[in-house]
Amino acid sequence: MSPAPTGSSAERPSIGRRTVLGAAAAAASAPALLGLSTPASAAPSAAPRALPGGGDLGPNVIVFDPSTPGIQAKLDEVFRQQESAQFGTGRYALLFKPGTYSGLNAQLGFYTSIAGLGLSPDDTTINGDVTVDAGWFNGNATQNFWRSAENLALVPVNGTNRWAVAQAAPFRRMHVRGGLNLSPNGYGWASGGYIADSRIDGQVGPYSQQQWYTRDSSIGSWLNGVWNMVFSGVEGAPAQTFPNPPYTTLNTTPVSREKPFLYLSGSEYRVFLPEKRTDARGVTWGNGTPRGTSLPLSQFYVAKPGVSAATLNQALTQGLHLLLTPGIYHVDQPIQVNRAGTVVLGLGYATLIPDNGVTALKVADVDGVRLAGLLIDAGPVNSATLLEVGPQGANTDHSANPTTVQDVFVRIGGAGAGKATTSMVINSRHTIVDHTWIWRADHGTGVGWDTNRADYGFVVNGNDVLATGLFVEHFNKYDVQWYGQRGRTIFFQNEKAYDAPNQAAIQNGSVKGYAAYKVGDSVTTHEGWGLGSYCYYNVNPAIVQHHGFSAPNTAGVKFHNLLVVSLGGQGQYERVINETGSPTSGTSTVPSTVVSYP
């Protein structure tokens, strides 16, 4: 193990399991908004004044154009603040107007998003790099969470851009005119990651990355794989060869709709809404104007940290969409999205914290809602749920215009004690969950078997739900429970909770441990591709987990390319799925795989 970096105890990262995990892989308060107050003369029963749409993006959205002086100095200033602030409160979006920029190296720290403001990535070119490295953590990239790059073209200085990330760090709608290196300097440990709607002209080199998902993109070539590399709709992807090399390759993605994004039309900010694609392959922006619609910023309530949930709900009731500027938002009632087609878009990892045990965000059973770019951080009072898409029993057909949940991340603990019985519940049919990391913290503050108690991560009750890029980790019981019919998952990454004190703490009736991914007993049709579960029971390495995956043994429930791994022998699996698959053993961190089930 490498020692932790120096620094205050509050900021010093814990390295236990991710160091072991990585080693194994390497070896193989904001300004108030105007217009919110009611005139003093108004009667108590008077309707609240209508909220304005549009407005400035606040102090934590930093906008550059090619003539802006001191761009590199500003980038460096933000990076110095955010480089090691893993559980800090800073949130930033760095936005570049269309044009060409030269000589830049934008190093990205925590809670920092960089994006171009053109309709196409090629509208905004940086002759330089957008870099994620791991110097803050002694060359270990396994905690490089919560940062993003979108909608830029890069011409890397040395021909290859470095993007050494872990979970919750999307690389979307990017054009790299060169190669992409997914490992830190020195080829240290890494645990990511996600690419979508991007073109990398040269080679992608994951090196030490244990797992990765790439969707609807184009690459020159792909170098290697460690445990679980999954591709869907990727031109240039390697052929299907799991488990050796561990490539899971689907020619197309069944259904996809890219994330909404902010752009400039002349001097006017608008939000582009890409259209849905079926059997998608390659990027959406390769041939002229992308397909979709757009909304002017005047149709959005531009929220600043400190605004109340009541005000956000008033804006939604008025018919406005929500644009959450970077910062932290405490909500004492659920943000309730009731109108079809509503967009809730966060910039710079805008963070919702529910107070007094409420659910942070609820969506009605309506068409076409788009949730994107949010972090939901559980509060100290237990919430029954943190995000609900559709009410219980929802059954409306949304196939023509599904709800999408994209880059919406959940955290329980780490920044302080947090609790939630269930993190994310999907009740509405046809919902697409495209890249989420649902994380019960294993390090930071407020962490312990009962301190940040969170029994269930991701629960699907709706039929016809699709998950592309599903990362769910460390829950006290089931990480994923899928009860809807015809569900599909392309790429799943999981670690079981490290901190179980003993075998009894995880006992599930007569079964040793709760599966990472459980398909309900009544489900007759389900399919998954490229799914992995790891255990690292470092508190009690004698713990045995019976299997990583549990599902009805029926012809319509199918899995392709499954694996379980014991990290350094800290706990073991007896099987991969149900009673199938070889047990893990010893300390060699070698995956046990099942290519096809049943």
**243: CB partners within 8 A, 6+ apart:** 561, 563, 591, 593, 595
Q: Distance between CA atoms of 476 and 449, rounded to whole angstroms?
A: 7
**Residue 280: beta bridge partners?**
253
Nearest-Å Rg of the Cα atoms of the chain is 23
Maximum Cα–Cα distance across the chain: 76
Closest CA to 184 of 152, 159, 209: 209
Across 3-30, b (16+ Cβ under 10 Å) vs e yields: ebbeeeeebebbbbbbbbbbbbbbeeeb
Q: Distance between CA atoms of 304 and 325, rounded to whole angstroms?
A: 6
**Strand pairing class (404-412; 321-324):** unpaired
| Amino acid at site 34 | L
Q: Distance between CA atoms of 422 and 588, rounded to whole angstroms?
A: 34
Closest CA to 391 of 307, 319, 343, 462: 462
Tokens 């990391």 belong to which residue? 437
> Tell me, what DSSP letter sits at residue 575?
-
Q: Distance between CA atoms of 527 and 460, rounded to whole angstroms?
A: 14
Tokens 């795989």 belong to which residue? 593
Contact yes or no for 388/420 (Cβ under 8 A): no
State the virtual CA torsion across 92, 96, 97, 103 in degrees, nearest 10: 150
Q: Distance between CA atoms of 198 and 176, rounded to whole angstroms?
A: 8
- Decide if 495 is catalytic: yes
Which helix (H) or strand (E) covers residue 61, if one does? strand 61-64
**Strand pairing class (592-597; 557-566):** antiparallel
Closest CA to 436 of 517, 374, 350: 374
**155: CB partners within 8 A, 6+ apart:** 125, 126, 127, 128, 177, 178
Contact yes or no for 318/339 (Cβ under 8 A): no
How far is the CA of 211 from the CAs of 5, 469, 532, 578, in angstroms? 25, 11, 9, 23
150, 258, 495, 574: the catalytic one is 495
Contact yes or no for 457/480 (Cβ under 8 A): yes
Q: Distance between CA atoms of 436 and 170, rounded to whole angstroms?
A: 10
Catalytic residues: 495
